[in-house]
Structure 1
Amino acid sequence: MTAARLRDGKLVALLLVVALAVVVLFAQLAPTRSAFSAKVTNSSNSAGTAAYFTCASAVDADDAGATFRYRLGEATGAKTAADSSVAASNGTYQGSMVAATPSPIACPRDTGSAYVLNGSTSFVSTPTSVRNPTTFSEEVWFRTTVAGGMLIGFGSNQVAVSGQHDRQVYINTAGQLVFGAYSSTTQVVTSPSSVTDGAWHHVVATMSAATGMRLYLDGALVASNAAYTAPENYTGYWRVGYDTVSGWPGQPNNFFFTGSMRFAAVYTTVLTPAQVANHSAAGR
């Protein structure tokens, strides 16, 4: 073998080694199709798991203190609003009962439709009278574009217009949420913003001697009065969707609620801010 051929052979071998090294390097550095990458642009960003996956599981967690829990997911024409709580206090759909599945729907991971109230005959009555509830929480998901109507409240009559009525959550003429109680004088707390935007909203109103009045909207406390701690003393019925709000601040012309509802409940306890936030988050 000549010296020239030997040099050429060594050169080819060297080039092959270099080429192989380059291929290995690129194989290690190049991304694959199955790779996943993420970028955090704000060090304050955070993520977590919701306490409850569905609205049903969220309200079920507080069953021990429930007077009733109506999911309002029955089919059109239903007469009974089934109570999912241990109280087994089924309600009655009064007037027109229509069910629909609007898009979007509150609590989209829950089965069932939404209850559509027509603003003239639709509401839910409860079967059993209650003596002077002083510690309670009221809750409902709702959607409307109409200012006016009672969402949930307490009255002295089961189905007709109540002579005594308070502990009411209603929408005033400005489209704001109002929570009102009465004991010698009328006292209300009001949401700063309107809720008649056609979006789903979650409301909780609570009252007790220890905490006074609190109004939560979409999981956040929006109004309160710690000094007003005692509602009117009488025996009455909880009602959903209708009763008189005559004489109350911002009194609407129509006392019937117009819109859609899901998951109405009353508890004999004051829901904590964390419980309220969990219930709201479960429906998003």
Structure 2
Amino acid sequence: MSEHHAHPGRARLRRPAARAALAGCAALLTAVLALAAPGGAWATFTASTGSTGNQLAAMAVFPDYRTAVQSSGPVVYHPFDDAYGSSTAAALAGSAGTYNGAAAPSSATATAIAAGAGGPRGAVRFPAGTHAAADTSTSITGAAVNTVALTLEAWVRTGSGGAVVSLLPEGSDPTGGRPQMYVNAAGQVCVGLTLQSPYTLQEVCGYDASDTKAWTPADQASPAWHHVAAVVDPTAPAGTVPCDSAGTQVVVYVDGAVVYDRGLCATWPQSVAGRWRVGSAPIPTDVIAATGEQEGPAPDTYTGDVDEVAVYAGALTAAEIKTHHDLGRGTVAGDYAATVKATPSLHLYWQLDGVPGAGAARTVADASTHSRAGTHRSHPDLGVGGAPTGTPTPGTAVGLSGVDDISTGAGRTTPTAFSAEVWFRSSGGTGPLASFGPTRTGSATVPDVAVHLTAGGSLAFAVRSPQRTVVSARDHRDGAWHLVTATMSSGGRMRLYVDGVLVQEDVSSTATSTLTGFWRWGGGGDYSAFATRPGAPFFTGRLDEASVYDRELSPEDVAVHWAAR
């Protein structure tokens, strides 16, 4: 399974200097640059399950990349299929554009996504200093500040970087949001934003050498296509303070996976207005020389290829971004690990693929790249057959015999909104599947949060204070793999999903306070005070692919996780 490094990214702030043309990038930006790569018909995506006796009443069929993009509702969509030498950039949504300078559609077939419905496709190559600009302006206005959302999308192929998608102001007014996505001199995808109250430019870039890049020196002579996305959503969690590294209001994706995220550093404007430009443009947010943090200044001049540029008046979800990437690549949903890693606010992800052996075998690796490893307690069976995660080579799981559990190595404070998810298989065994409580070993303390199998095989999701429990209706001890997801909203809504489907919820507005403790999987804790208890103190069965999120997963998130198996 591929590794994607997700982290807060680096953010730089400054008061804007007087600078011509572009005054930065605006608010709620979800910039997805959907690259043209081989990709034809995509299999039907259906989020349904027969094993639980429930069915999600939704099916989305995306025959090809462009159908999926148009299903997401772009307000601007330039496919760049224009005939070689044309001066007009035709549009499938919004107004057409005009090529500036020597920019011209490319005749190179390698720059086109695979032909599907709609016939042959092309891309555009931008020599240095050229661009394409919309013929008319676009204005997206929300009900108030910190409400408007925006998404940009395209595929890029470059060996030097530069401005990719920018919103240029019509006049000199600097107060409106002006979003911009660009690739810097280190190959990192960056987002520049113009904020207000106070009027500030914010740049969000990666700072780690392991970040997925749009280009590297190794492939500079023959760069590859990459799908890039930057999402700015002021309605998403901001973290505890402005500009918080734990925030998810600005999320940047490369090839369908999150590479970094952050909270907004100031107020996002009520209106985003101007003309969209693809290719070379001034980059006012990137005015500081390279500091040795694995980042560098970005050239205003863009040199390279661009394809399938779209703008949306709304924030695309992680699932939509991954779907667009997969369709562009010509692949289908079916990589659970990549889907989990692409989900914003991932706190930890244990794939439980350990192998038998002494010493290191007791350590549980964290695939989220946050280095939140865990420890096997007692002697579980490692390397047993795992859950169906969609990859050609199946992963492995951990087998628990009613005396084992797994716990996090370091305590943490949970946010008021969170989610826990794990695959399990039981052929008769019961017990705790996931819990959060004040200790990481022993059974003497009461967990604050618990997901467990009751004596009758039903799934229960419970919180201790104030005590509330939701319980599924059926017995899940059938020897099959099941995905259980428990979510808590900041307002106190509890939801329990099984195999991608909501089976029970408590919509009371009793919010859970922040909790301090440890996540444990498979057992531990005193459940005597719970109204609905696990059937045993430790679980007997198999666990796989355990993950925790610092937000409430949406029903769409859960359905996509189930469908990725």
Is the shorter-chain TM-score for this pair beyond 0.5, marking a shared fold? yes
1:137 and 2:419 aligned = yes
Which has more radius of gyration?
1
Q: Which residue of 2 aligns with 1:174?
A: 456
Mapped contact 2:406–2:521 kept (Cα < 8 A): yes
Q: Which residue of 2 aligns with 1:31?
A: none
1:67 and 2:67 aligned = no
Q: Which residue of 2 aligns with 1:219?
A: 500
Q: Which residue of 1 aligns with 2:490?
A: 209
Q: Which residue of 2 aligns with 1:89?
A: 372
CA distance in 1, matches of 2:549, 2:420: 7
State TM-score, norm by structure 2: 0.39
Q: Secondary structure at the match of 1:278?
A: helix
1:58 and 2:339 aligned = yes
Match of 1:257 among 536, 539, 562: 539
Of structures 1 and 2, the one with the larger relative CO (CA 8 A, separation 6+) is: 1
- Aligned-partner residue type, residue 56 of structure 1: A
1:107 and 2:389 aligned = yes
- Aligned-partner residue type, residue 272 of structure 1: S
Mapped contact 2:436–2:448 kept (Cα < 8 A): yes
RMSD of the alignment, in Å? 2.4
Q: Secondary structure at the match of 1:276?
A: helix
CA distance in 1, matches of 2:444, 2:407: 12
Q: Secondary structure at the match of 1:138?
A: strand
- CA gap 1:46/1:134 in 2 versus in 1, 3 angstroms: closer
Please show how residues 1-284 of structure 1 align to structure 2 within 5 Å. 51=323, 52-62=333-343, 64-77=344-357, 78-102=361-385, 105-107=387-389, 109=391, 111-120=394-403, 122-184=404-466, 186-210=467-491, 212-231=493-512, 234-244=515-525, 245-283=527-565
- CA gap 1:123/1:265 in 2 versus in 1, 3 angstroms: same
- CA gap 1:233/1:58 in 2 versus in 1, 3 angstroms: closer
Q: Secondary structure at the match of 1:165?
A: coil
Deviation at 1:83, TM superposition (A): 0.3
- Aligned-partner residue type, residue 61 of structure 1: A
Mapped contact 2:493–2:505 kept (Cα < 8 A): yes
CA distance in 1, matches of 2:515, 2:491: 20
Deviation at 1:275, TM superposition (A): 0.8
Mapped contact 2:348–2:548 kept (Cα < 8 A): yes
Mapped contact 2:455–2:536 kept (Cα < 8 A): no
CA distance in 1, matches of 2:510, 2:394: 37
Deviation at 1:173, TM superposition (A): 1.1
Mapped contact 2:348–2:368 kept (Cα < 8 A): yes
Q: Secondary structure at the match of 1:183?
A: coil
CA distance in 2, matches of 1:228, 1:167: 17
Q: Deviations over 1:198-217 (max 9, x none)?
A: 11000100002336100000
- CA gap 1:252/1:46 in 2 versus in 1, 3 angstroms: closer
Q: Which residue of 2 aligns with 1:4?
A: none
Deviation at 1:236, TM superposition (A): 0.9
Runs of at least 5 residues in structure 1 that lack an aligned partner in the other structure: 1-44
Q: Deviations over 1:39-73 (max 9, x none)?
A: xxxxxx986689432110110111x4122100001
Structure (1 or 2) with the greater helix fraction: 1
Mapped contact 1:180–1:188 kept (Cα < 8 A): yes
Mapped contact 1:147–1:174 kept (Cα < 8 A): no
- Aligned-partner residue type, residue 74 of structure 1: G
Q: Secondary structure at the match of 2:474?
A: strand
Q: Secondary structure at the match of 1:280?
A: helix
- CA gap 1:149/1:270 in 2 versus in 1, 3 angstroms: same
Q: Greater CA deviation, 136-145 or 249-258?
A: 249-258
CA distance in 2, matches of 1:48, 1:94: 45
- CA gap 1:203/1:46 in 2 versus in 1, 3 angstroms: closer
- Aligned-partner residue type, residue 406 of structure 2: V
CA distance in 2, matches of 1:105, 1:69: 15
Runs of at least 5 residues in structure 2 that lack an aligned partner in the other structure: 1-58, 64-321, 324-332
Mapped contact 1:130–1:235 kept (Cα < 8 A): yes
Mapped contact 2:372–2:408 kept (Cα < 8 A): yes
State TM-score, norm by structure 1: 0.76
CA distance in 1, matches of 2:558, 2:508: 21
CA distance in 1, matches of 2:414, 2:536: 27
CA distance in 2, matches of 1:118, 1:143: 12
Q: Secondary structure at the match of 1:58?
A: helix
Q: Secondary structure at the match of 1:72?
A: coil
Taking every aligned residue pair, what percent have the same amino acid on both sides? 34
